[in-house]
A and B are shown apart, each in its own frame.
Chain A
Amino acid sequence: MLDLLVLVVRRDLVLAMRRRTDVLTTLIFFVMVVSLFPLGVGPELEMLRKMAPGVLWVAALLASMLSLGRLFSADYLDGTLEQMMLAPQSLSMLVLGKITAHWMVSGLPLVLLAPVLGLQFDMSARAIGVLIVGLMLGTPVLSMLGAIGAALTLGLRGGGVLLSLLVLPLCIPVLIFGTGAVGAISSGLSIASHMSLLGALLVMALVFTPWVTAQALRISME
């Protein structure tokens, strides 16, 4: 099982590295969106500090949605996906591998970029720390929920926007707990409940989404 996972992750990472531009454009999008907000609402640091977790999380959400179209499309177009589905190995495992690789090239960079952007918003070091931990727990969930959407909208025209429309409502709890944690730490409250809820969402997503995504793939491919 684990071998399969590692194999799939490796393969997808190699493929992603060959198409570095896609990965980079998503990151640039993230940075741009984050920078638009201060331009839109004004440079007052007080206000920006309050807005910061929300802005960063929403931007991370949008950037994830953008990159999810890539999750299955390449394999779908060249027939590899079909082969994967016919293979005797567990489709859920294959899917989990693809999602992991996807997160590593799309979600993880966002987490690593976030501190720099947080400084732009004059966030305190503690707030940035909580933000990063939250994003680490939350971005995988976003990738996993997005995978369900990507599988359902496979090959459809208008796919990207439709995917976002379907998946964004489902991501709202992650958004709420992620931003709530940063808000709590800024007010000196405990972040334990937020983090444990994020952790719970992560665990639930890990347990259910690969299988659900596999079912969605079967529905889209038959």
Chain B
Amino acid sequence: MAINWFKYSAPTTFYGLAGKMIPWFAFPSAILFAIGLYIGFFVAPIDETQGEFYRIMFIHVPASILSMFLYLVMAGYAALGLIFNTRLSAMMASAIAPTGALFAFISLWTGALWGKPTWGAWWLWDARLTSELILLFLYLGFIALHASIDDPRRADRAAALLAIVGSVNVPIIYFSVRWWNTLHQGSTIKFSGTSMHIAMQHALFTMLAACWLYAIAIVLARVRSIILERERNTTWINELPEVRS
């Protein structure tokens, strides 16, 4: 098993593997989105306190979870790249960043839209939304730093260090914001009753899986372009069928 891992840690082999994997994630993702939306809108019942508006949750919650999880994965790849000096790890980190940032944005946007009917305001400085905003800043900082450095190696390694420092800070930031918010009496999202209706749970998990698969597919597609760009001086790139045509 160890040998297989390192075989695919070279850009050469990973390029092909990623290309083959994309459809296996993209199509199931689309299907799961369809199923999730169906359950979310047609099977899940109306909520007593929130009415229909809670249905925003089915995109908001997966987006939030994914934005946070992707940051950790990105930081993980960044750490691997720094420790083992593997080019591909750094390329994966760069590939994840835009997707993570976009999910953070979706989370903020849908969060605001959910907030308006629920609390009466477009933005409420509740702990989670505020932490999400800071997470978006951390993503943008990573992307900005990488883009500002011309030398690819220095760019990779500097951004990687930033990602790691950020990931250590995320829990601290989250808890300090929660602290700040409870002192200022923030509101939390409540559903009628203590547990979520089973259909709501199904919808939520389906959408979460759909977003997850989408993220994998899009990141793999992006990393392929990054590999092409970085390795453009090598022979194997020039032998590729899509380049020859």
Contact = CB atoms under 8 A, between A and B. Distances in A.
A98 to B, nearest CB: 18
B157 A219 contact: yes
A220 B149 CA distance: 10
Contact of B172 (A158, A173, A180, A219): A173
Contact of A219 (B140, B158, B173, B177): B158
A190 to B, nearest CB: 12
A172 B177 contact: yes
B163 to A, nearest CB: 11
Interface of B: 134, 137-138, 140-141, 144-145, 148-149, 154, 157-158, 161-162, 165-166, 169, 172-173, 176-177, 179-180, 183
B131 to A, nearest CB: 9
Interface residues of A, number: 27
Given A172-B176, A173-B172, A165 B141 contact: yes
A151 to B, nearest CB: 9
Contacts, number: 68
B141 A166 contact: yes
A215 interface: yes
A180 B183 contact: yes
A137 B172 CA distance: 17
5 contacts: A169-B169, A172-B176, A173-B176, A201-B172, A215-B161
Interface string A184-199: 1000000000000100
A108 B167 CA distance: 29
Contacts of A148: 161, 165
A143 interface: no
Interface in A86-111: none
Interface string A149-166: 000110011100010011
Given A166-B162, A216-B161, A172 B134 contact: yes
Contacts of A46: none
Contacts of A220: 154, 158
A176 B176 contact: yes
Contact of B134 (A165, A169, A180, A197): A169
B172 A212 contact: no
A101 B179 CA distance: 33
A156 B155 CA distance: 11
A153 B158 CA distance: 8
Contacts of A212: 161, 165
A153 B148 contact: yes
